[in-house]
Structure 1
């Protein structure tokens, strides 16, 4: 890295962190900056992934309250996303530089399309998550909380999200929903000989539930492949898949999406650090700059309409794709 490119890379790091905090798609700014600084597309791609990794950690920290009760679900899909990311890293490693140069404009246009579609994706997800379904959280009659039949014991059936027993275990099905219309089984309210019982819903495992779980794993796998191979627009892609297939509130879906994005980028970071031409001096410049941009972006987000910034970033990305395709 020469000193002449230092201001460009610093500015790109700050801008990418801010854009990711406001609307997503920060790689559409930082990746072209690395290419403009003279780095080959493949080197720019892996360096960009490593440099922007701290921002994903910050996103998970910001969503930690909405991750409560999602531990088993998060672990399941994280494993799938990590396997997909490993395959994406392998594909990137065996892709010749000339071929990667040829597909980069198409990948940038795909990322622009994902970012441009974000408002519609978010609205569709919100409609799906706000409309109760037969297996949606909170639908159907809840079990009685008290009464002579002893259905409410000290096991704390109604935890923070209404799904956890005293042991903190997840009572959810494959996609985290519980059908409160399902048959209830009576279990001891406490350890040892108990005189009271507590109602616990049997998770529904019908054909639709199994299909949703399979599609979710497939979507997380493909998202992991794409995220490790290129990555721009990964968050929007994961949000759309989770929102369509997971009957859950939007803020909890976003929290899960932030963890999965971190998992994919962590796998990519480890693989790139070991086997790819990461420019560590550039990372040392852009990583703290992206953190600063994320902090500033969170403040600007309260004042700047996200649609305005999104339009600018998409237009810039499309122009970059055109330049790269013609060079």
Structure 2
């Protein structure tokens, strides 16, 4: 690849990092950028997963206090995300192409609808917690995140807001951390596959690290209702794009 292509990936990585932390839709920026510099779809997918680990690193580094306040349950959820991410990566490497992809637009659309209806859903289940359902559903979403990941952040966010009752601000931080864990474990699996373009991954990761670091202060100043609606509408757009591909 040429120097301009590497610079393009750094810039795209920054955009993916910021957009990914705020909305959970990093891949809508990063994946097309990797395709545009000549990577095959499979190579772009695995390289994208490796590069986007940096979003979680940057976001987590700038929100450690909020994460540690969640206590021991954070590490239980992280373990579930790790197992899910590894499972998704193994499916991608071994299963026939397109195994999950037919269902992806519907999953993203359902998560986006859940985000829009989240206040009404929480009123219906006021005071209820889901100590079993949440980790199970989290594991399933992490499998998808390790496999393909486009829109996984939207699904993570919707699931967390509905099942935990956390604020949009804290749910966004948690989403970034757990998705980062799933990406990290999947990236470790992909690193031995021979499909990762390490130069492209490094360039995009550099931008993504900075974008992820900038994410928490940006989210903190956005009104929760506005953030929730923007993410939901972006999710519907992504679902439509994936459905028409």
Tell me the TM-score range normalised by the shorter chain.
Answer: 0.7 to 0.9
Partner residue, 2:34: 34
Contact 1:28/1:317 (8 A) holds in 2 = no
Residue number among 128, 148, 151 corresponding to 1:230 in the alignment: 148
| RMSD of aligned Cα (Å) | 3.5
Contact 1:15/1:293 (8 A) holds in 2 = yes
CA shift in 2, pair 1:320/1:252, >3 Å: closer
SS at match of 1:275: coil
CA shift in 2, pair 1:299/1:245, >3 Å: closer
Is 1:273–2:191 an aligned residue pair?
A: yes
Q: State the 1:86 CA deviation.
A: 1.8
Partner residue, 2:78: 78
Partner residue, 2:18: 18
Q: State the 1:244 CA deviation.
A: 2.5
CA distance in 1 between counterparts of 2:124 and 2:67 reads: 20
Between 1:313-322 and 1:67-76, the stretch displaced more is: 313-322
CA distance in 2 between counterparts of 1:78 and 1:312 reads: 26
CA shift in 2, pair 1:262/1:220, >3 Å: same
Equivalent runs, 1:277-292 vs 2, <5 Å: 277-292=195-210
CA distance in 2 between counterparts of 1:247 and 1:313 reads: 21
C-alpha distance after superposition, 1:76-107 (max 9, x if no partner): 222222222221111011034xx24x865764
CA distance in 2 between counterparts of 1:317 and 1:62 reads: 30
More helix by share: 2
Contact 2:108/2:155 (8 A) holds in 1 = no
Partner residue, 2:50: 50
SS at match of 1:53: helix
- Asked which structure has the greater RCO (Cα within 8 Å, sep 6+), the reply is 2
CA distance in 2 between counterparts of 1:219 and 1:121 reads: 18
Q: State the 1:126 CA deviation.
A: 6.5
CA distance in 1 between counterparts of 2:239 and 2:3 reads: 25
Q: State the 1:63 CA deviation.
A: 3.1
Q: State the 1:217 CA deviation.
A: 2.4
Equivalent runs, 1:187-206 vs 2, <5 Å: none
Partner residue, 2:59: 59
CA distance in 2 between counterparts of 1:83 and 1:77 reads: 10
Q: State the 1:54 CA deviation.
A: 1.2
Partner residue, 2:137: 219
**Alignment TM-score, normalising by the size of structure 2:** 0.78
C-alpha distance after superposition, 1:159-179 (max 9, x if no partner): xxxxxxxxxxxxxxxx6xxxx
Equivalent runs, 1:135-154 vs 2, <5 Å: none
CA distance in 2 between counterparts of 1:124 and 1:276 reads: 47
C-alpha distance after superposition, 1:291-321 (max 9, x if no partner): 3334566676658975668757864774576
CA shift in 2, pair 1:242/1:125, >3 Å: farther
Partner residue, 2:174: 256
Q: State the 1:4 CA deviation.
A: 5.5
CA distance in 2 between counterparts of 1:239 and 1:313 reads: 11
Q: State the 1:21 CA deviation.
A: 3.4
Unmatched runs of 5 consecutive residues or more in structure 1: 136-174, 176-211
CA shift in 2, pair 1:22/1:217, >3 Å: closer
**Alignment TM-score, normalising by the size of structure 1:** 0.61
C-alpha distance after superposition, 1:49-74 (max 9, x if no partner): 11111111222233323234433212
Partner residue, 1:161: none
CA distance in 1 between counterparts of 2:145 and 2:137 reads: 12
Contact 1:220/1:238 (8 A) holds in 2 = yes
